[in-house]
Structure 1
Amino acid sequence: MGTVTPPAPVPLVEELGWIPIDEAGGAGVARRVAVDCARRLGFSDERAGEVAIVAAELASNLHRHADVGSLSVRCLRAGPLGAVELVAVDSGPGMADLVFSGSDGTSTAGTLGIGLGAVRRLSSHSGGYSLPGRGTVLTAQLWPDRGAVRTPVVAGLTRPITGETVCGDRWAARERDGALLLLVADGLGHGSLAAAAANATVDAFLASDLDAPAAIVQHLHRVVSHTRGAAVSVARVEGAAVRFAGLGNVAGTIAFPDGERRGMVSMPGIVGHQSRGVREFAYDLPPEAVVVLHSDGVSDRWTLKDYPGLSRQDPLLIAGTLLRDAGVRRDDAGVAVVRP
């Protein structure tokens, strides 16, 4: 097979849901959802079969090793191409050497241990982060061709409140003149109306050609007034600088590997309904730092110091780890990460 490079470094993400892997049947559900996504995207029968293998292996690994685990299935779209993305998150015993554990013939449960090696071989891109006693996050991205792809510098992950199937938190990103613009929206409340507010906010953000965070937030405030409203933050990342604006309690943080965190200032209000003014702030972004935006469904009691090496990993692994450990079950939760 040849190498496929998606034309857009920031694919659009369609969340297909989280599948709890608390019994053996969960692997079958995950496989069916992933294959349905692959067929919808026009994958060949052979490639759809490889998607099935990867989904089944990730789900089976969760069932065998994790105390609590779930699998997120997502459709990615980048121009005319689409991909299936899988995120496996667990709070199990973790692995001291994830690379070794993913090698063919290696197992921590007395089995053949081919699962994670197969995931790595069949995926266009895959990754993992694990800490003993904390759990593991594994990701796999499968484009129509098995060839390598560019990994975006930004990624996000959302999860609905327990008992809901739709999430009122959403994230989106787009590029403009060499700068990356990132948005996180937290629709007021929960359920379908909160999701509708967040969806309208994201749609308006993606359709706009504005590139200043304050101007974007002001624009959103005007155009989503037909919804129940949302807390919104927007970050513009370019080189060693971040510009930030927000209304409401979507947190923006510049985080460092040593645990230092610099909070970015959001103004009180609800996009679409209440605003006493929007202000934009500028911050330095050192090379070792990452930008994290998250809704109030993610506790702010996290620090990268607790996760050695995590800041050097793919943004999706950072987002998945923070969502697992800092996300609260009594609220929708969403987190997005830029790792320049």
Structure 2
Amino acid sequence: LAAAPEASLPALLQRLDGALASLRGAAVGLVQVQGDRLRHAGVGNTRCMRLRDHHMTRLPSQNGIVGGGLPARVSESELDLAPGDWLLLFSDGLDESLQLPVLLPEWERDPGLLCAYLLQQAAPGRDDAGVLVMRIGGG
């Protein structure tokens, strides 16, 4: 589903809603990082969190199913970003009250290890789980 980089996240979710209408639907969280700003829009059980200096900021995701009709108004959230911040995006297979222990040095060297750790925390058999971890450069 190609889109212009300047397309709004709600507009992208509208396009996805139409494309998935004949299927089962999905929970979708979208982020757009531009410079030191992050924009996020999510529908369904998706989460987006920023970890900065051991403090977690959670962004909201709205109830619904992309492909099953979106909320009347899809909302966007914004956050500032700084070098060294961590972004975590994950699906409902992981507990939304997720608490990270202190970031270990090996996670900083290889964020894939952090992804593996988070996936081990997923509730087996309850739901599928997907996770993306991203470190903002310069830190």
Q: Which TM-score band applies after superposition, normalised by the shorter structure?
A: 0.7 to 0.9
Separation in 2, partners of 1:231, 1:273: 10
Separation in 2, partners of 1:231, 1:219: 14
Separation in 2, partners of 1:295, 1:228: 16
SS of the counterpart of 1:220? helix
Q: Is the 8 A contact 2:14 2:70 kept in 1?
A: no
The one of the two structures with greater contact order (alpha-carbon pairs below 8 A, sep at least 6) is 2
TM, length-normalised to structure 1: 0.36
Separation in 1, partners of 2:86, 2:107: 7
Alpha carbon RMSD of aligned pairs, Å? 1.8
Relative to structure 1, is the Cα distance of residues 240 and 335 closer, same or farther in structure 2, using a 3 angstrom cutoff? same
For these two proteins, the number of residue pairs brought into alignment is 132
SS of the counterpart of 1:269? coil
Cα distance, 1:214 vs. partner?
2.1
Aligned residue identity for 1:221 = D
Query: Which residues of 2 match residues 168-317 of structure 1 at below 5 A?
Result: 204=1, 208-211=2-5, 212-258=8-54, 260-276=55-71, 277-309=73-105, 312-317=108-113
Query: Which residues of 2 match residues 1-340 of structure 1 at below 5 A?
Result: 204=1, 208-211=2-5, 212-258=8-54, 260-276=55-71, 277-309=73-105, 312-324=108-120, 326-330=121-125, 331-340=127-136
| Structure whose alpha-carbon radius of gyration is higher | 1
Q: Is the 8 A contact 2:107 2:113 kept in 1?
A: no
Relative to structure 1, is the Cα distance of residues 315 and 215 closer, same or farther in structure 2, using a 3 angstrom cutoff? farther
Cα distance, 1:266 vs. partner?
1.5
TM, length-normalised to structure 2: 0.83
* 1:7-51 CA-partner distances (Å, limit 9, x unpaired): xxxxxxxxxxxxxxxxxxxxxxxxxxxxxxxxxxxxxxxxxxxxx
Relative to structure 1, is the Cα distance of residues 240 and 304 closer, same or farther in structure 2, using a 3 angstrom cutoff? farther
Cα distance, 1:311 vs. partner?
5.3
Q: Is the 8 A contact 1:254 1:262 kept in 2?
A: yes
Relative to structure 1, is the Cα distance of residues 311 and 213 closer, same or farther in structure 2, using a 3 angstrom cutoff? farther
- Corresponding residue for residue 31 of structure 1: none
Where structure 1 has 5 or more consecutive residues not aligned to the other structure, the ranges are 1-203
* 1:140-181 CA-partner distances (Å, limit 9, x unpaired): xxxxxxxxxxxxxxxxxxxxxxxxxxxxxxxxxxxxxxxxxx
Q: Is the 8 A contact 1:293 1:336 kept in 2?
A: yes
SS of the counterpart of 1:287? coil
Separation in 1, partners of 2:116, 2:90: 12
Separation in 1, partners of 2:49, 2:106: 16
Q: Is the 8 A contact 2:40 2:59 kept in 1?
A: yes
Cα distance, 1:335 vs. partner?
0.6
- Corresponding residue for residue 98 of structure 1: none
* 1:97-119 CA-partner distances (Å, limit 9, x unpaired): xxxxxxxxxxxxxxxxxxxxxxx
SS of the counterpart of 2:13? helix
Structure with the bigger percentage of helix:
1
Separation in 2, partners of 1:230, 1:240: 29
Q: Is the 8 A contact 1:229 1:271 kept in 2?
A: yes
